[in-house]
Structure 1
Amino acid sequence: MKLDFKFSNLCGTVYKKGNVVFTPDGNSIISPVGNRVTVFDLVNNKSHTLPFENKKDIHRLALSPNGALLITVDEDGRAVLVNFPRRVVLHHHNFKSEVHDLQFSPNGRYLAVSHQKQVHIWRTPGFTRDFAPFVLHRKLPGHYDDVVHLSWSSDSRFLVTGSKDMTARVYSMEEVEGFEGAVLTGHRDTVVGAWFSKDNQTIYSVGKDGALFVWNLEEKIRRDAEMNDGGGKKRRKGVDGQEIRTISKWLASEKHYFNQSAAKVTCVSFHAPSNLLVVGFNSGIFGIWELPDFNNIHTLSISQKKITSAAINATGEWLAFGSSALGQLLVWEWQSESYILKQQGHQHDMTCLTYSQDGQFIATGGDDGKVKLWNTTSGFCFVTFTEHSGGVAAIEFAKQGQVVFSASLDGTVRAFDLVRYRNFRTFTTPTPVQFSCLAVDPSGDVVVAGSMDTFEVFVWSVQTGKLLDIMAGHEAPISGLAFSPTEGMVASGSWDKTVRVWDVFGRDKAPESFEHQSEVLSVAWRPDGKQFASTTLDGQVSFWDMSFGKLTTTIEGRRDIAGGRKATDRMTAKNSQSNKHFTSICYTADGSTVLAGGNSKYVCIYDIPSKSMLKRFQISANLSLDGMQDILNSKNMTEAGPKDLIDTAGENSDLEDRIDSSLPGVKSGDASLRKTRPEVRTKAVRFAPTGRSWAAASTEGLLIYSLDETLTFDPFDLEIDITPETVLEALISKEYLRSLVMSFRLGEKNITQKVYDSIPVESVSLVVRDVPQKYLDRLMGLLVAAIEGSPRIEFHLVWVTGLMKFHGKWLRERYGEVGSAVRALQKGLGKMYEDVSKVCDDNTYTLNFLLSSMEKNQMEEETPMEIEAVGMDIVGL
């Protein structure tokens, strides 16, 4: 089994906090998600997360005008410089204070960074590995409180700043005759934004209280008595002997107010070429105004919480908004009044996940009562079900058909149709209970759920929706359920330290009980149904043989996932292992290894026969989460407790920021209100049916890890006479089968792809028929890669048809070995079918439109001819 899984994508979170930025072409938007960065391609409808992490949650980010450099800054001022096109980290830098804003100059030469009451101007780092990539150019003092906004003029000569001291200041990067800086006063609250107009003759400043000031540049000629400067040189003087100086001064010409019923301004953005001002308020409303006339174009409510970030793309057509409290990211086209992108993650913790049978979709459930479906290829959520009124505890796909089941704490189990996107069945119990786990029969006819309060397992028929049976016997809450893949057996794990195996379809047999040393947290069946695994509260993983009904293997996993110390822990991370255990486990496709995750920052893969840990993945390096550090710094401990847990909301200036409606010490609920830091943990782990990736529902969101094939060299039966030259010689000699097998044995991807593309379509059937069986899995992997990256649809279908025609029986007999490759091939064909269907539908609509237009034109052309013929007849009479 390959273990080189690399972080692939982060799907469950689309925005957390900070500012969002459009790329220079305006087709993609960059969003901070915790300590990572996700790029949403709005044209191709895809998203990908960059493979680097900041030490803490990202607070600000900036992209250079040419789109080459990306700088991300976390809460403490630590910055990461990234080569954005190549996704490579170039340098780490510490600004040593919280950064409220940073902006590249339009010419790309400077980087302006707010540093408390000052503004620091840095020279833009290059792509070379310099000893000191960040070189300080100059410091700009003058403000009496923190600087919160920066903006450059179009010629990069001037900089305007907004501050909490209710003023805006104008600075010059170079000495300009007659310019001595300017202080723009008059606002009664924090200046959250200030910008130059396109001609740099006007400044627009916006206060937090909803006031917009318009400042115009006026030049005056000042005549003074003749004076000598310090250098002894005389200044320029006029005919009358007096000095002549041109003085530039910014004067307030207009004042406007947004009048949004006492709502505070939380974010603003200005697009100078089109003079559009976008303002977001803490009421969830945003507005668009055209300057300098102050015409209100649109006012729309898009969120229930305050809007924390706003951005405009380069053409001024698309507006992006982020809401931190709800985790929303919206892209709105204001001219057509339509959404380009509307994404939202789970408002609270993600609790469970499951893969579809083809591995193309992932369904997740959360404490917010929502069920979301994510496309693993695009990374987008394409449907959300909100029928549950309580947190979703378990979720499962039906093995056959497009149906997903979910169990909730509201006492219902619901079935959702993924064709019509509706809740078509709701399963309830005679007395209300809270469901904690769920399992679905492989045939999809029976669904079972376990309760937390009555300690019973309920069985329903999916077809009729009726309750078939109630299986009682446990003496504590039921924590896990799993159906056997081969027989009608279901295993239930409970806090009473037992796992019971029930025969759902034949109740004449008594359930078999398996005793454990501690509370059972989860259960999982091996794909062949002859073994099941269970995890317990003491950190052990137990494997039970169903043929003999006895314990075969035990893995002590507490020490493997130990690590990480909470801020309130009195013991070291090495000794604090009491709360380290696995809460979720699943088998791989071949059944030889298991994937386990739980109350820790680690996810482990174990080899069952040798009882050894093969690899351990750290799901996050975010120090904003609790339980990440192994060693705590004693200077962060005060008499009132750790500094990270002290509530500082009372120091905020706004009333809505000071009010805290959460209960003391709660860890669930609104993430923006709780006083305790979220703890790093993994609620659920699942392997994809294709075996090429696995996913984890963690505190950070839905993490997907996959195999990176481009970086591995994996030859197969390699011999000394097999070289790229001999492979190409066989191809030139039209020995297609021999060249294909040699390329498989060589293991170089580009050579194999060249051989595949060079085989004539009339020879494909003969080649596929004679391919040795031990190379079939390699051939299917080649077909999957070719289908995803090449538009030769008919050519690929000929290969797939020949493969199933000549080797279908062999593949069916060894489905356990090649099942992952077959499912990956099925996924690729399904994606190709969707793309072709979409193109065919578009072409059909276009042809119908052209035909109707042609018929209309013919009718219009025939009508004058008929009138002319009638006129000639009349003239003839």
Structure 2
Amino acid sequence: MKTDFQFSNLLGTVYSSGNLLFTPDGTCLLSPVGNRVSIFDLVQSKSYTLPFAHRRNIARLALNPRGNLLLSVDEDGHAILTNVPRRIVLYHFSFKGEISALAFAPSGRHFAAGIGRHVEVWHTPSTPDVADGDLEFAPFVRHRVYTGHFDNVQSIEWSADSRFFLTSSKDLTARIWSTDPEEGFVPTTLAGHRQAVLGAWFSKDQETIYTISKDGALLEWKYLSHPDAPSDAEEDDEDMRWRIAERHFFMQSNAHVTCAAFHPESKLLVTGFSSGLFSIHELPEFSQIQNLSISQNDIDFVAINKTGEWLAFGASKLGQLLVWEWQSESYVLKQQGHFDTMNTIAYSPEGQRIITAADDGKIKVWDVNSGFCVVTFTEHISGVTACEFAKRGNVLFTVSLDGSIRAWDLIRYRNFRTFTAPSRLSFSSIAVDPSGEVVCAGSIDSFDIHIWSVQTGQLLDRLSGHEGPVSSLAFSPDGGTLVSGSWDRTVRVWNIFARTQTSEPLQLMADVLCIAFRPDSKQIAVTTLDGQLTFWSVSEAMQQSGVDARRDVSGGRKMTDRRTAANVAGTKSFTTVKYSADGTCVLAGGNSKYICLYDVQSGVLAKKFTVSVNLALEGTQEFLNSKLLTEGGPRGMIDEQGEESELEDRRDNTLPGAQRGEGARKTRPEIRVPDVAFSPTGRAFCAASTEGLLIYSLDTVFQFDPFDLDMTVTPAATLSTLADKEYLKALVMAFRLNERSLVRRVYEAIPVSDVPLVVKDMPTVYLGRLLRFVAVQADESPHLEFNLMWIEALLSKHGRWMKDHKAGLEAELRSVEKAVRRIQAELARLADENIYRIEYLLAQPQETKEKTLMLDFGTNDIEAEHDETMADEDDDDGGEWMGID
């Protein structure tokens, strides 16, 4: 089995903190999710996560005007410059301080960063105006540092010509700066607010400035002379200055402004409030257009796309991300992650959906291809602890601490059956018979296993025998055996469909945490509290092998740990284990930052995946930094917000009696992997973690992965080779560069008659790439017959080779099959819709047929379609082609 799984996507969380960004074309939304960046394509309804990860949560994002360079900065001021189309990290940089505002100039030559009360302007590390759009990379070069504010800078806005920029600050002022020294210009301070200024913007003509403060005051500034000056006197340049022309106020009782955005072209001002309300006003009249409540908590950030049609809102308290089209008053995107810890996940049998369930009582269904949440179930009133699919895949069973087991219909999206026990129990584990007739559940309150009939909802039986809480249940895939694990250090094998229900106990050395069945039903994997992973034969009731996994799962220190990560191995264990689809490997995770992949036969650790490097979580560091240790303990555990000026910042939300020592302490989330799951095809697996649902895949398409490159292989050389009609060489050169547009250009230029010859001589190292490319083209391009001819040539010329190397080409062959099936279905539907029209045309006389065709399709279309084929006849006859031969 292949082990080179790569990070593919992050689901389960859509927004955590920081600012939202629209791409310049307005079709994609960038959202910071912890220490990663997710991109939501609002037109194609897809999402993906960029592969890089910061060491802290992301504080600010900025995108250059061309949309190809992304600058992301974390809470420590460490920045990563990324090429967005290729998803490649170009440069790492540190700003030596926390960034509170970040913005690129419209010209793309500079960007400004607010660091504390200073503003730094830097040259963009690439020149966007280079011919052919190539990037000329240079390290970060600082242009100027601007000082003058007395508190943190909150926002930065550039003028349209990039000569000036506005900053707003917590010191109750906004300031106007020039990028370069301007003759006669002096940096100006706009003072008049009574609370912190959240934003300042230029109007489209740059004759007006709007500033808004936290208390809901909107001030309109104009460049005017003193109002008391005589009207007939000549205007004195020295008397001209920015003055308040209008004052407006948002009347929101007991709520303050938390974010605002202004769109100069449409003059729309969007403001978000701490009550979860947002309003849209048109300036300068300050006429209200809309008022809508979208959350019960603060709206943290609002962004407007380039056309001013879509508004994006982020609320970190519940992890909400919304895109609102204000003209039609409809949602373009409405997503929300779990706002509590994820407990369990499950792949649907067809592998297209993933179920997540959490302590917030919600069950979410995620689409693997699009990355969006399809539906959310909220019937459970307490944390959901386990879930499992019936074998056919349309029925999902979940158990909860509220004492109920619910069955969900995933076609109609409804709860059609609820099972309960005679006494109130908190269920923690579930197993479903493969036939879907019986469902079993185990509880931490009772030592019995409860069995219900799915058809009637009746409690059929209670299996007793364990002397401790039942922690894990599993049905064998063939349906003949039920296995249960308990804290009484035993695993019991039950034959519940026999006349006499007997159980075979297997004795272990520690409390059982999780059990998994191998797909062939002959072996089980058991994880225990002492860090052991053991494999047992079901038929012989004997242990076959075992792995001491304590060293593998250990790693990562908490701030309060007295011992190093290497010495805390005795306290770590796997809490979840799953077999791969072919049964050769097991995947295990627990209260650690590692996911381990083991080979079952040899017991060897095949690969170790690091879930997160985010230092904002406990358990991600290997070595503690002595500089962060103070007399009062680790600095990260001390509450430093008690002296803040804002009431919301210094409010203590800790539980009574939870403080130790003199200073107030605060808690941080800990990195954990509560559950893992393999996809049914074995080509991917997912893991529920503190940061969200991580998907690792073998089918990750590399954006740029050149090999066999040398100095002679360039786009110009490739096109020159194509012009010389050396089609095979040109195609190989295009694949070496791996430029999709270049590959497509060469691919479409190859004559139909030469396709079999090119495919026959294609080196086998490029066959996988060519197969994948043709499958994508069959889905996207309109050249139906041309693509089918390529597929036919590939399968006929290299079919035996593909059969021999099927293991490495599963994704490509699956894509081709999917494309061919789609084309077949569309052609069948097209033929069915037009069958009577075709029969009618065929029944007409020849002369009528020509006229009918010309009426149906148009002479111009036919001439355009057959332009090349008839050109020679036109030259020979010296006449003009008038119709169909």
| TM more than 0.5 | yes
Q: Is the 8 A contact 2:118 2:149 kept in 1?
A: yes
> Cα gap change, 1:310/1:761 in structure 2, threshold over 3 Å: closer, same or farther?
closer
1:707 aligns with 2:698: yes
CA deviation profile, 1:490-533 (whole Å, cap 9, x unmatched): 11111111111111212514211111111111000000000000
User: 1:713-752 alignment to 2 at 5 Å?
Assistant: 747-750=767-770
After TM superposition, give the deviation of residue 420 of structure 1 in Å.
1.2
> Cα gap change, 1:661/1:67 in structure 2, threshold over 3 Å: closer, same or farther?
same
After TM superposition, give the deviation of residue 155 of structure 1 in Å.
1.3
SS of match in other structure, 2:253: coil
Give the partner amino acid of 1:408. Answer: S
User: 1:1-400 alignment to 2 at 5 Å?
Assistant: 1-126=1-126, 133-218=139-224, 248-400=240-392
CA deviation profile, 1:181-212 (whole Å, cap 9, x unmatched): 21111111100111111111111000001111
Q: Is the 8 A contact 1:90 1:129 kept in 2?
A: no
> Cα gap change, 1:220/1:745 in structure 2, threshold over 3 Å: closer, same or farther?
closer
Q: Is the 8 A contact 1:178 1:247 kept in 2?
A: no
1:678 to 666, 669, 672: 669
Determine the structure 1 residue equivalent to 2:611.
619
Distance 1:449 1:840 in 2: 52
Q: Is the 8 A contact 1:744 1:778 kept in 2?
A: no
Determine the structure 1 residue equivalent to 2:553.
561
Give the partner amino acid of 2:696. Answer: Y
After TM superposition, give the deviation of residue 764 of structure 1 in Å.
11
Distance 1:289 1:841 in 2: 52
Distance 2:40 2:120 in 1: 31
Q: Is the 8 A contact 2:774 2:791 kept in 1?
A: no
After TM superposition, give the deviation of residue 157 of structure 1 in Å.
1.4
Give the partner amino acid of 1:161. Answer: T
Mean CA deviation greater in 650-659 or 363-372: 650-659
Mean CA deviation greater in 121-130 or 635-644: 121-130
After TM superposition, give the deviation of residue 292 of structure 1 in Å.
0.6
Give the partner amino acid of 2:383. Answer: G
Mean CA deviation greater in 625-634 or 16-25: 625-634
After TM superposition, give the deviation of residue 372 of structure 1 in Å.
0.2
User: 1:501-580 alignment to 2 at 5 Å?
Assistant: 501-506=493-498, 508-580=500-572
Determine the structure 2 residue equivalent to 1:860.
none
Determine the structure 2 residue equivalent to 1:824.
none
Determine the structure 2 residue equivalent to 1:587.
579
After TM superposition, give the deviation of residue 248 of structure 1 in Å.
4.2
Distance 1:296 1:315 in 2: 19
CA deviation profile, 1:673-703 (whole Å, cap 9, x unmatched): 9931111110100100011100000011000
After TM superposition, give the deviation of residue 59 of structure 1 in Å.
0.6
Give the partner amino acid of 1:193. Answer: G
Distance 2:207 2:332 in 1: 34
Determine the structure 1 residue equivalent to 2:822.
793
Distance 1:573 1:460 in 2: 45
Give the partner amino acid of 1:126. Answer: S
After TM superposition, give the deviation of residue 87 of structure 1 in Å.
1.1
Distance 2:106 2:793 in 1: 58
Determine the structure 1 residue equivalent to 2:722.
none
After TM superposition, give the deviation of residue 766 of structure 1 in Å.
9.7
Determine the structure 2 residue equivalent to 1:634.
626
Mean CA deviation greater in 126-135 or 319-328: 126-135
2:469 to 470, 474, 477: 477
Distance 2:605 2:306 in 1: 50
SS of match in other structure, 2:642: helix
> Cα gap change, 1:751/1:642 in structure 2, threshold over 3 Å: closer, same or farther?
closer
Distance 1:44 1:752 in 2: 20
CA deviation profile, 1:301-345 (whole Å, cap 9, x unmatched): 100110001000000000000001100000001111111100001
Q: Is the 8 A contact 2:492 2:504 kept in 1?
A: yes
Q: Is the 8 A contact 1:665 1:674 kept in 2?
A: no
Distance 2:601 2:48 in 1: 37
1:784 to 781, 796, 814: 814
Q: Is the 8 A contact 2:348 2:393 kept in 1?
A: no
Mean CA deviation greater in 168-177 or 416-425: 168-177
Q: Is the 8 A contact 1:330 1:343 kept in 2?
A: yes
After TM superposition, give the deviation of residue 159 of structure 1 in Å.
1.2
Q: Is the 8 A contact 1:666 1:675 kept in 2?
A: no
Distance 1:492 1:284 in 2: 47
SS of match in other structure, 1:121: strand
> Cα gap change, 1:561/1:296 in structure 2, threshold over 3 Å: closer, same or farther?
same
SS of match in other structure, 1:644: helix
Distance 1:769 1:560 in 2: 42
> Cα gap change, 1:54/1:486 in structure 2, threshold over 3 Å: closer, same or farther?
same
Give the partner amino acid of 1:690. Answer: T
Give the partner amino acid of 1:162. Answer: S
SS of match in other structure, 1:343: strand
After TM superposition, give the deviation of residue 447 of structure 1 in Å.
0.9
Give the partner amino acid of 2:22. Answer: F
After TM superposition, give the deviation of residue 557 of structure 1 in Å.
0.8
Give the partner amino acid of 1:111. Answer: F
> Cα gap change, 1:659/1:542 in structure 2, threshold over 3 Å: closer, same or farther?
same
Give the partner amino acid of 2:139. Answer: P
After TM superposition, give the deviation of residue 39 of structure 1 in Å.
0.1
1:452 to 429, 437, 444: 444
SS of match in other structure, 1:650: coil
Q: Is the 8 A contact 2:683 2:699 kept in 1?
A: no
CA deviation profile, 1:829-848 (whole Å, cap 9, x unmatched): xxx99xx99x99999xxxxx
Distance 2:765 2:76 in 1: 52
After TM superposition, give the deviation of residue 760 of structure 1 in Å.
8.9
SS of match in other structure, 2:166: strand
Report how many residues are paired: 771
User: 1:828-839 alignment to 2 at 5 Å?
Assistant: none
SS of match in other structure, 2:113: strand
Distance 1:511 1:741 in 2: 63
For the aligned residues, what is the CA RMSD?
A: 3.6
Determine the structure 2 residue equivalent to 1:421.
413
Mean CA deviation greater in 452-461 or 632-641: 632-641
After TM superposition, give the deviation of residue 778 of structure 1 in Å.
7.3
Distance 1:745 1:74 in 2: 41
Q: Is the 8 A contact 1:69 1:83 kept in 2?
A: yes
> Cα gap change, 1:751/1:106 in structure 2, threshold over 3 Å: closer, same or farther?
closer
Q: Is the 8 A contact 1:665 1:676 kept in 2?
A: no
Determine the structure 1 residue equivalent to 2:854.
none
> Cα gap change, 1:435/1:174 in structure 2, threshold over 3 Å: closer, same or farther?
same
CA deviation profile, 1:453-481 (whole Å, cap 9, x unmatched): 11221111111111111111212222111
Q: Is the 8 A contact 2:578 2:588 kept in 1?
A: yes
Give the partner amino acid of 1:156. Answer: S
After TM superposition, give the deviation of residue 131 of structure 1 in Å.
9.1
